[in-house]
Amino acid sequence: MKFVALISGGKDSFFNIHHSISRGHELIALGNLYPKQAGIDELDSFMFQTVGHDIIEYYGECLDVPLYRQEINGSSKNQRLEYSITEEDEIEDLYLLLKTVKEKHPDVEGVSCGAILSHYQRTRVENVCGRLGLTCLAYLWQRNQLELMGEMCNNQLDARIIKVAAIGLNSTHLGKSIQQLYPYLIKLNQMYEVHICGEGGEFETIVLDAPFFKHKKLEIIEQEVVDHSNDDVSYLRLKVEIRDKGDAPSNITLAQPHLLSEPFSTILEELVEEIKDDEQSNECTLPDTDSQPDVYVVSTKDKLYISNLTSTKSTLKEQTIDIFTKLNDILVIHNSSFNDIQHVTLLLSNINQFNDVNKVYEEQFSKFYLPPSRICIETTLSKTSLVQLSCTVIHSKVKQGIHIRSRSYWAPQNIGPYSQAIVEEKLQYKIGTLSGQIPLVPSSMELFKESKLSDRIYSSVLSLQHLHRVKELIGVPEIGTIVCFIVDSINLDIVSETWQKYITELASSDDIKNLIIVQVTKLPKSACIEWGGCSFKNTIGMYEDEEETKPQASEITNMVDLFESSNVVNINNGSIQLITLFTNDSNLVRNLVEVNKNLSNRLQIFTKLANVSNLGSNYEILPVLQSWTYDKQPFSFTIIWTVEY
């Protein structure tokens, strides 16, 4: 795609341009925001580097593309992590800048942004990109800083230190190249945890040359050290000139970081070595049924669960609109809104018609900066149902999570109105709902090829790495309940072995039973595997309450003991339990449904739709072809029972 690069003059913005070009995108313009008052070197901005801003005007000639600049009239008025339109905020100046670029270059599609760790910076660029129909290219996002700075140093990026503001750094380091300072920065990181790439504001840089500079580069002809009077901050005031640099290198393409990081690359190697033969393929279909599931609504102390919303309207669009009307009515009754929804499970009878559903879905959620996380699959619904929706609503009005829309190497960007994860945060615990992850290559957003056995093993490991990175980034790392969806049982062995090696490498052995494997008819983009679920973190305070006697605890325990296979995950000292149950006995499931009516907890049942008619009502149904435990034991019924005491 054709892109405009936001530049501050620093190393990150220029190295991201290099990666964007290396991924096949075409640089057509530069964009920069500068301080309103002439002669000001430092602006109190949470967003933009302004030291060295008077050098920016030379970069257009160095890169042989037009440079567009916009004066910063606003301030950091909106300092929330997730940005929404705010008058007199500096981000509205960024909007004006990119709006101008788009008017001058209607074919521009992308915006290069050098964010590495800053959610604050990324979310603001994404906000503006979303309003203008552009894609943020952020190939440095979440990169390992030691590795990243090493790449910059090794790929002929001539960046000089022009500001220092950290322990161990002083005016003697000003003017040095990043190559000269790299070993010392590693030492400072080891001694004082100084960010090697300066992500904590420890230092700032100005770029004089890069491999993609076309025939011209910058050279410092005069420099003056300025010591800030109020603190231990020093910076350079520079004068530069443009110099000829000769012909640019014929090949400037940067290599992509490996798709799999450790220990996932090791997991892959072991699986490829150990799994030699495919399981027998089994692509079956579910029998048709006329019966629609009953709407199921459960309100607990902290949550509202709304399940099995369907419609008998004639078209898919009409059904989707009708379902959202019903959902709104239920939310109003319970004094909630669409913005309170934490997670959505969306079931389609034909995923090829997803766009028709998503247009209506987008109208409901696109206006929220943190839309719900989402699982979307194709499965067999009742004859009259084309779509079915269930959701979790949290009563807390403070939403946390990640909705990353930038193209990067980290994990797939979200291109629809859903977040990678939404976190319910309480004083004692956090619970995160995790959107389904399929094996997309993050830098291209293309599905990893899945033709051979080794490809499908790679797909399993890659998509699980995506899920792992999301739960780690939101700071909710403990495994709750994970569901892996497969389209063909040929992948059952792959998923089971991937999970067991993942637990060995990155989790506790107690978590190994926290996986459910289910077979459905189709997944987004025709992927073969999708991982989703929930994670949690217990918050440890100074004092922990003694374990209280929980009403109905013995009744629940007695019920669990009746099942052939079970697993219990305790959150917040057992005040919340995620109970997974497996059985082939429909009578046992019916008894559980009856017991739970009096307990008012959430009940999710994975089974063939034909099995539902004998179970009564008051549960969420997720029709599947087959379900298994983590170690491939098949069962007719798999249940997630979320118990809140």
Per-residue pLDDT tens over the stretch 348-392: 999 999 999 999 999 999 888 899 999 999 999 999 999 999 999
Determine the Cα–Cα distance for residues 300 and 644; give it in Å rounded to an integer.
7
Judge whether 323 and 311 are in contact, CB under 8 Å.
Answer: yes
Beta strands (DSSP E) in 55-130 are 67-72, 110-112
Instruction: Kindly tell me the sign of the dihedral angle through the C-alpha atoms of 225, 226, 229, 234.
Output: negative
Secondary structure (3-state) at 6: strand
Write the CATH number of the domain with boundaries 265-274+293-540+551-644: 3.30.1330.40
Instruction: Give all strands of the β-sheet with 637-644 in edge-to-edge order.
Output: 565-571, 576-583, 637-644, 602-607, 620-623
The kind and range of the H/E element at 594 are helix 586-599
Write down the mean pLDDT value for the chain.
Answer: 92
Put residue 383 in one of left, alpha, beta given phi > 0 → left and psi -120 to 50 → alpha. alpha
Q: Is the pLDDT of residue 224 over 80?
A: yes
Residue 308 token pair: 């099995």
The kind and range of the H/E element at 641 are strand 637-644
pLDDT band, very low/low/confident/very high, at 48 (cuts 50, 70, 90): very low
pLDDT value for 547: 54
Mean pLDDT (whole number) for 486-506: 97
Centre a 10 Å sphere on the Cβ of residue 41 and count the other Cβ atoms it contains: 18
Output 323 or 79, whichever has higher pLDDT: 323
Q: Give the lowest-confidence range in 325-329, 405-409, 438-442, 547-551.
A: 547-551
pLDDT value for 616: 87
Strand 634-635 to strand 158-164: parallel, antiparallel, or no bridges (unpaired)? unpaired
Beta strands (DSSP E) in 7-102 are 26-35, 67-72
Judge whether 164 and 170 are in contact, CB under 8 Å.
Answer: yes
Secondary structure (3-state) at 95: helix
Determine the Cα–Cα distance for residues 372 and 341; give it in Å rounded to an integer.
6
pLDDT band, very low/low/confident/very high, at 80 (cuts 50, 70, 90): low
Q: For 151-209, how does the pLDDT look when each residue is reduced to its tens digit (9 = 90+)?
A: 999 999 999 999 999 999 999 999 999 999 999 999 999 999 999 999 989 999 999 99
pLDDT value for 232: 78
Q: What angle do CA 606, 609, 615 make, to 5 degrees?
A: 75
Output 48 or 111, whichever has higher pLDDT: 111
Give the class (CATH, top level) of 2-244: alpha beta
Q: Which amino acid is at 588?
A: L
Q: Which of 561, 300, 552 minimizes the C-alpha distance to 431?
A: 300
Determine the Cα–Cα distance for residues 203 and 209; give it in Å rounded to an integer.
19
pLDDT value for 46: 47
Strand 637-644 to strand 387-394: parallel, antiparallel, or no bridges (unpaired)? unpaired
Determine the Cα–Cα distance for residues 571 and 594; give it in Å rounded to an integer.
25
Q: Exposure of 387 by Cβ count < 10 A (0-12 exposed, 13-18 middle, 19+ buried)? A: buried
Mean pLDDT (whole number) for 31-44: 68
pLDDT band, very low/low/confident/very high, at 449 (cuts 50, 70, 90): confident
- Each domain of the chain, given as residue ranges in start order, spans 2-244, 265-274+293-540+551-644
What is the pTM assigned to this prediction? 0.93
pLDDT value for 83: 62
Residue 472 token pair: 């780690």
pLDDT band, very low/low/confident/very high, at 626 (cuts 50, 70, 90): very high
Q: Is the pLDDT of residue 3 over 60?
A: yes
Q: Is the pLDDT of residue 49 over 90?
A: no
Determine the Cα–Cα distance for residues 445 and 24; give it in Å rounded to an integer.
13
Q: Give the lowest-confidence range in 71-80, 87-96, 446-455.
A: 71-80
